[in-house]
Amino acid sequence: MNHFWSVWAAVGTIVFFVLMVLIVVKYWRSNHKADKDRVLDTFDGIDENDGPPPKLLFVSYFIAFAISFGYLILYPGVGSWKGLMGYDQANDKLSSPTTTLEQEFTGLTDDSLLALAAEPAIVNSGRILFQTHCAACHRDNAQGAKHFPNLIDNEWLYGGSDEAIIHSIELGRNGAMPGWVDVLRPDEISKISYYLASLNQRHTDVPEIKVQLGKELFIKNCASCHGDGSVPNIETGVPDLADNIWLHGGSIEEIQHTIRAGLNNVMPAFGQQLTKDEILAIGAYITKARIDNNSRLARLDAASVERGEYLAMPAIVSLATVQRVENHLRAVYRLSLLLALFILRISRPM
């Protein structure tokens, strides 16, 4: 604040304070002239008398003025006056509730994500940054959702090394798969979906010949990227199609939709928005969340987790389990709708 505005603020504060004191003193001195029996006005049968304000009101005003005067003398409040206490807002913890990331990283010699995950202050900063920049897609707990990957399991499209995670945050990712609707016939797309379902050892109630034909079509049209479907490629982000993790839905219908329409997955780059330390902090938070999740899973029976017996514990439920439940609920909804339509039809008067 320059000198002019400092003087302006000081004069305004002092003048306003003095005026308030004078107004209260004026009414206090004339308070004895009030007559509670004199009627000033009447409205709707109600009289307004000239009763004096209670003395407690004036006492409260004078106490407030005394406290305000003392505050303005001891602390900043009048222009650039620093106050007799020498108070500086920069020393107030409330004005800087947390240390900066630069301070949190000071003295650290190991900036690997595993080492940073052991630093509570950095993990907490990473959590706050994650909530701000990443939670809209990956959810607050980093478990992702349909079309957005789970970041706390051990399945990574582009690898889970420090370099791969930092690359994903800093430079983003762009994974594309072409649509085959103009190349393959509907029945061929169906056969490929049956083959992919068979890789998960799922029962599809289709003849084995269709699965074999689907495999031949898959090798012919898809093997250049996916191989036989069971081998991921973290260099290009090609997923393992033989596991039970389906980012875009693993039902027969959803697999067929993916083959027909293709995909264009884009994760934006944050290198221009976040500093190096902020990116490391987010990586540390993700790593800590993954370690904690692995620790929770290790205390449970693996077979029970696979069967979904721990579905009531959202912190450890796999995305594949959630997707299977969603598919079952969707089927129940369709059956319920058909049943309702049938009941409406037979209940109509002939």
pLDDT digits (tens, 9 = 90+) for 6-50: 888 888 889 998 999 899 888 888 887 888 888 888 888 888 888
Quick one: what percent of the chain has pLDDT higher than 70? 86
Lowest mean pLDDT among 19-33, 120-134, 260-274, 279-293: 19-33
Which pLDDT belongs to residue 320? 58
Per-residue pLDDT averaged across 83-95, rounded?
Answer: 66
Angle at 17 (CA atoms; ends 13, 19), nearest 5 degrees? 120
Query: Is the whole-model pTM more than 0.75?
Result: no
Which pLDDT belongs to residue 277? 93
Q: Which residue has the higher pLDDT, 72 or 319?
A: 72
Does pLDDT of 105 surpass 80? yes
What distance in Å separates the CA atoms of residue 291 and residue 313, rounded to the nearest whole number? 17
Per-residue pLDDT averaged across 245-271, rounded?
Answer: 91
- Residue of 94, 66, 72 lying closest to 85 (CA atoms): 72
3-state SS of the chain is CCHHHHHHHHHHHHHHHHHHHHHHHHHHHCHHHCCCCCEEEEECCEEEECCCCCHHHHHHHHHHHHHHHHHHHHCCCCCCCCCCCCCCHHHCHHHCCCCCHHHHHCCCCCCCHHHHCCCHHHHHHHHHHHHHHCHHHHCCCCCCECCECCCCCCCCCCCCCHHHHHHHHHHCEEEEECCCCCCCCHHHHHHHHHHHHHHCCCCCCCCHHHHHHHHHHHHHHCHHHHCCCCCCECCCCECCCCCCCCCCCCCHHHHHHHHHHCEEEEECCCCCCCCHHHHHHHHHHHHHHHHHHHHHHHCCCHHHHHHCCCCCCCCCCCHHHHHHHHHHHHHHHHHHHHHHHHHHHHCCCC
Quick one: what percent of the chain has pLDDT higher than 90? 40
Does pLDDT of 348 surpass 90? no
- Residue of 273, 286, 269 lying closest to 162 (CA atoms): 286
- Residue of 251, 223, 268, 260 lying closest to 330 (CA atoms): 251
| Per-residue pLDDT tens over the stretch 302-326 | 776 666 555 544 444 455 566 667 7
Q: Hey, what are 19's tokens?
A: 């005026």
In whole numbers, what is the pLDDT of the chain averaged over residues? 84
Q: Hey, what are 338's tokens?
A: 């058909």
Does pLDDT of 78 surpass 90? no
What distance in Å separates the CA atoms of residue 290 and residue 275, rounded to the nearest whole number? 23
Place of tokens 């409330």: 94
- Residue of 144, 163, 346, 181 lying closest to 265 (CA atoms): 144
| Burial (Cβ within 10 Å: 0-12, 13-18, ≥19) of residue 252 | middle
Does pLDDT of 92 surpass 70? no
Does pLDDT of 346 surpass 50? yes
